[in-house]
């Protein structure tokens, strides 16, 4: 983890990207400790669609708001594994937009993604003027959602920074031949070692993070970071749907300050 500037006042139960983002960019993933939710959602679950108590989720979201810069507005999505991209100021209350990515140019608009094995992908430009957050499960990778979000940014691709947050690692992401083939088709040149055969015929273990890196580099992004955190293996820090089925969600968010 990188050192957090004091003005962010983030608690220890946040994972901060180790990337060279500008000083005005706030980006992190919440860990699962430090909230009020009870088992099986213990404890900092911010998802309101997984069966957790509404009051507990709201309390956890208030805790999230409390660690952000003053006057920050949180933006949530109804995530459906689509390729729909939203801009926060176009998605006013009370409706929560349906989609799986945010792109934003305005300050103090926190673009939030909920995950429990899918990859959260956070993006900014080196000027700190534009940010994005992507929910990239295998369908998102197959839909090349990260690439579609990258096209929203003005300026050259080599001025963009991408961080891949905690998701299920290749050691645990077992899929059938159809899913593996679909994923391989979504990368022009599949990276070496992006999958390996499982013990059972017709199944493979796939490295989603390596495929996202490859897609970013195809787009011309040189600065791709993260991807080493496994939600399935790290029980204490991350929620995992494949591991537990009934569980909470970690939040990954990004915003630009004034």
186 domain residue, yes or no: no
62 domain residue, yes or no: yes
250 domain residue, yes or no: yes
Does this model's pTM top 0.75? My answer is: yes
140 domain residue, yes or no: yes
Average pLDDT, integer, range 177-188: 95
24 domain residue, yes or no: yes
201 domain residue, yes or no: no
Q: Tell whether the model's pLDDT for residue 6 goes beyond 60.
A: no
What percentage of the chain carries pLDDT values higher than 70? 95
Q: Tell whether the model's pLDDT for residue 1 goes beyond 50.
A: no
- What is the span of the domain harbouring residue 117? 6-168+223-256
Total number of domains constituting the chain:
1
pLDDT of residue 199: 80
Which tens digits make up the pLDDT trace of 90-120? 555 657 999 999 999 999 999 999 999 999 9
Q: Kindly report the three-state secondary structure assignment for every residue of the chain.
A: CCCCCHHHCCCCCEECCCCCCCCCEEEEEECCCCCCCCCCCCCCCCCCCCCCCHHHHHHHHHHHHHCCCCCCEEECCECCCCCCEECHHHCCCCCCCECCEEEECCCCEEEEEEECCCEEEEEEECCCCCEEEEEECHHHHHCCHHHHHHCCCCCCHHHEEEEECCECCCCCCEEEHHHHHHHHHCCCCCCCCCEEECCCCCEEEECHHHHHHHHHHHHCCCEEEECCCECCCCCCCCCCHHHHCCCCCEEEEEEECC
Which tens digits make up the pLDDT trace of 131-151? 999 999 999 999 999 999 999
Check which CATH number belongs to the domain holding 160 and give it: 3.60.140.10
């Amino acid at each position: 983890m990188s050192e957090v500037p004091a003005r962010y006042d983030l608690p220890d139960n946040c994972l901060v990207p180790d990337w060279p983002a500008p000083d005005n960019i706030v980006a992190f993933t919440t860990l699962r400790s430090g909230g009020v939710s009870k088992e099986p959602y213990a404890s900092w679950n911010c998802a309101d669609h997984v069966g957790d108590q509404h009051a507990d989720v709201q309390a956890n979201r208030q805790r999230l708001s409390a660690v952000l810069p003053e006057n920050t507005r949180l933006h949530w999505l109804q995530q459906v594994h689509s390729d729909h991209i939203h801009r926060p100021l176009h998605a006013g209350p009370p409706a929560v937009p349906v989609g799986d990515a945010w792109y934003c140019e305005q300050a103090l608009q926190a673009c939030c993604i909920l995950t429990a094995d899918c990859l959260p992908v956070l993006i900014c430009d080196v000027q700190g003027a534009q940010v994005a957050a992507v929910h990239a499960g295998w369908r998102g990778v197959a839909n090349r959602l990260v690439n579609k979000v990258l096209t929203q940014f003005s300026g050259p691709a080599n001025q963009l920074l991408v961080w891949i947050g905690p998701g299920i690692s290749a050691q645990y992401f077992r899929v059938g031949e159809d899913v593996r083939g679909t994923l391989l088709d979504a990368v022009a040149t599949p990276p070496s070692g992006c999958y390996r055969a499982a013990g059972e015929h017709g199944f493979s273990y796939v490295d989603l993070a390596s495929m996202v890196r490859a897609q970013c580099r195809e787009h011309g992004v040189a600065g791709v970071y993260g991807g080493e955190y496994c939600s399935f293996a790290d029980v204490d820090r991350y929620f995992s749907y494949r591991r537990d089925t009934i569980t909470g969600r970690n939040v990954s968010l990004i915003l630009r300050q004034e």
